[in-house]
Chain A
Amino acid sequence: MSQSNGFSPLRWPVLRQLQRGDAKGLDKSAVSPQTESLAARTKSADKVVDSVCPYCGVGCAQLVYVKNDKIIDIEGDPASPVSNGCLCPKGAATFQLVTGAHRVSDVLYRRPHGTKWEKIPLAKAMDMVAARVKKTRDEHWEEADEKGNPLHRTLAIAHLGGATLDNEENYLIKKLFTGLGIVQVENQARI
């Protein structure tokens, strides 16, 4: 309502038309206050962060515009020799990917034979997972095969995923799991 009809007698466009001798009222005279103050929302960003498109392997550079710790826009970085600022439809939808309502923000737990998800605290979940890892590893440790060949491993724990993750993350995954004697570490590179 409030922003409806720009109809304060003083700003009445008809008067402006009379002043300007504008018989048609097709442009300037009809401009509204909001239009006059129009500006790209990126102008008001607190910071612009260098980023990279998370979808395919081309690696198009992105710029992430942030205002009040909220992402307000994501678009291509024109300086990139890889992409010259272009994005494909997926890349252009990155904003929805990272800010969308579809993202879950709670840790969920499904107990054995359970029929529903339950929310549990992050720390508790981490403790539970660590405990499971230890238990499974200890119960299914292989020191050596029947011929005495070294094994030092467990086949009871496996991992999948990595092609969508950062190098640093893959590094820690491989490092920790190797340290634990887990060999079945795999990712989309084969999928």
Chain B
Amino acid sequence: MTDPTYYDRPLLQESVWTWAIPAYYFVGGLAGSALVLAAAAQLRKSRAHQRLVRRCRWIGVIGAGVSAGLLIYDLGRPARFLNMLRVFRPTSPMNMGAWILAGAGATSTGALLLGTRSGLLGRLGEACGYTAGIFGAGLATYTGVLVANTAVPVWQESRRLLPVLFAASAMSSLGSVFEMCVEDAEERGIVKTFGTVGIAAELAAGIVMEKQASSVARVGRPFRHGFSGLLWRSAQILTAASLLVRNRRAVGALGIAGSLLLRFAVERAGTASARDPRASFHLERDRATSP
């Protein structure tokens, strides 16, 4: 069958997002998973865990703040960032994300401020903590939906695993951050398990997702070719490497780099896919032929 295009020009508009958005995927993920861990740790009322809780809350609060900053920075009209909360539009993952981020920011801050209080305020703080955990779980995963809910073939075809992948990567990145920056071996111990699970899941999810995306060869192409392919592979290698090395700082560094690179790889893959009219054409033809 002939394979026509219009002078090989793109069918789709490519994303206008800057580096800030993939960076936000990472930071948001980090903050999100931190808040979940905090909420979990909050359940165990031990001083050791209190330290962990506070540290995670700090990561959550700062992370949420930085996230908001990155998002606003990327807007065409930053002054209008509040419009994100103008409507409630369930069809728009970005709108949902905005509410989640707002919620996570508010509750985690509340938890952080009230966490040490006693009495009613203290209990309110606790409640905030658990809610923040729930929001955090959303924050760490919704970006996967955000990316999947597009017309960009490679992103669309990654939809079944992208949120899981981002979730895993969020966990691993938290682990890595602790490996690198936290002296307290015990806290590290707790997070280590958390992170290691994440790394394993991240690697697994990545492989399966690439396979799924490539069920139409042309669609999965960006994972194997070009700059996006390079990023994608490097991300996997770095993450895997973080399991092998001994030095904990190195482990942390590799892990962070890995999950950061992962987000940029996904971003680049999308752009490459949007530039390739055949990706869309093949995907749609394939779907048309095999119902």
Direct contact of A and B (CB under 8 A): yes
Chain B residue with Cβ nearest A25:
B87
| A24 to B90 Cα, complex, angstroms | 6
Task: Say whether B90 contacts A23, CB under 8 Å.
Answer: yes
Interface flag for A30 (CB, 8 Å): yes
Task: Say whether B88 contacts A25, CB under 8 Å.
Answer: yes
Interface residues of A in 82-125 (CB under 8 A from B): none
- 4 interchain residue pairs of minimum CB distance: A25-B87, A4-B80, A5-B83, A13-B87
Interface flag for B2 (CB, 8 Å): no
Task: Say whether A4 contacts B79, CB under 8 Å.
Answer: yes
The distance from the CB of B121 to the nearest CB of chain A, in whole angstroms, is: 27
Interface flag for A55 (CB, 8 Å): no
* 24 interchain pairs, CB-CB under 8 A: A1-B79, A4-B77, A4-B79, A4-B83, A5-B82, A6-B83, A6-B86, A7-B82, A12-B86, A13-B86, A13-B87, A14-B85, A14-B86, A14-B87, A14-B88, A17-B87, A17-B88, A24-B89, A24-B91, A25-B87, A25-B88, A26-B91, A30-B86, A30-B87
| A23 to B95 Cα, complex, angstroms | 13
The distance from the CB of B99 to the nearest CB of chain A, in whole angstroms, is: 10
The distance from the CB of B182 to the nearest CB of chain A, in whole angstroms, is: 40
| A25 to B77 Cα, complex, angstroms | 22
- For B83, what are the chain A residues with a Cβ–Cβ distance below 8 Å? 4-7
Q: Which residues of A contact B (CB under 8 A)?
A: 1, 4-7, 12-14, 17, 23-26, 29-30
Scoring B79, B80, B87 by chain A CB atoms within 10 A of each residue's CB, the highest score goes to B87
The distance from the CB of B83 to the nearest CB of chain A, in whole angstroms, is: 5
The distance from the CB of B176 to the nearest CB of chain A, in whole angstroms, is: 38
- Choose one: A5, A13, A29; the contact of B80 (CB below 8 Å): A5
What band does the interface of chain B fall in when counting residues whose beta carbon is under 8 Å from A?
10 to 19
- For B80, what are the chain A residues with a Cβ–Cβ distance below 8 Å? 4-5
Interface mask (B81-121 → A, CB under 8 Å = 1, otherwise 0) = 01101111111000000000000000000000000000000
The distance from the CB of B92 to the nearest CB of chain A, in whole angstroms, is: 9
Interface mask (B236-264 → A, CB under 8 Å = 1, otherwise 0) = 00000000000000000000000000000
Chain B residue with Cβ nearest A12:
B86
A-B pairs with beta carbons under 8 A, tally:
36
Task: Say whether A29 contacts B82, CB under 8 Å.
Answer: no
The distance from the CB of B233 to the nearest CB of chain A, in whole angstroms, is: 41
- For A24, what are the chain B residues with a Cβ–Cβ distance below 8 Å? 89-91
- For A6, what are the chain B residues with a Cβ–Cβ distance below 8 Å? 83, 86
The distance from the CB of A61 to the nearest CB of chain B, in whole angstroms, is: 36
Given A12-B86, A14-B85, 15 more contacts at CB 8 Å? A1-B79, A4-B77, A4-B80, A4-B83, A5-B82, A6-B83, A7-B82, A7-B83, A7-B86, A14-B88, A24-B90, A25-B89, A26-B91, A29-B87, A30-B86
| A13 to B90 Cα, complex, angstroms | 14
| A183 to B89 Cα, complex, angstroms | 77
- For B91, what are the chain A residues with a Cβ–Cβ distance below 8 Å? 24, 26
The distance from the CB of A30 to the nearest CB of chain B, in whole angstroms, is: 5
The distance from the CB of A37 to the nearest CB of chain B, in whole angstroms, is: 18
| A7 to B93 Cα, complex, angstroms | 21
The distance from the CB of A14 to the nearest CB of chain B, in whole angstroms, is: 5
Task: Say whether B86 contacts A5, CB under 8 Å.
Answer: yes
| A26 to B87 Cα, complex, angstroms | 9
Chain B residue with Cβ nearest A6:
B86
- For A17, what are the chain B residues with a Cβ–Cβ distance below 8 Å? 87-88
Chain A residue with Cβ nearest B86:
A13
| A85 to B90 Cα, complex, angstroms | 45
The distance from the CB of B162 to the nearest CB of chain A, in whole angstroms, is: 24
| A24 to B88 Cα, complex, angstroms | 7
- For A4, what are the chain B residues with a Cβ–Cβ distance below 8 Å? 77, 79-80, 83
- Choose one: B77, B85, B89; the contact of A26 (CB below 8 Å): B89
| A30 to B88 Cα, complex, angstroms | 10
- For A26, what are the chain B residues with a Cβ–Cβ distance below 8 Å? 89, 91
| A5 to B77 Cα, complex, angstroms | 10
- For A25, what are the chain B residues with a Cβ–Cβ distance below 8 Å? 87-89
Interface mask (B261-289 → A, CB under 8 Å = 1, otherwise 0) = 00000000000000000000000000000
| A51 to B215 Cα, complex, angstroms | 61
| A12 to B83 Cα, complex, angstroms | 10
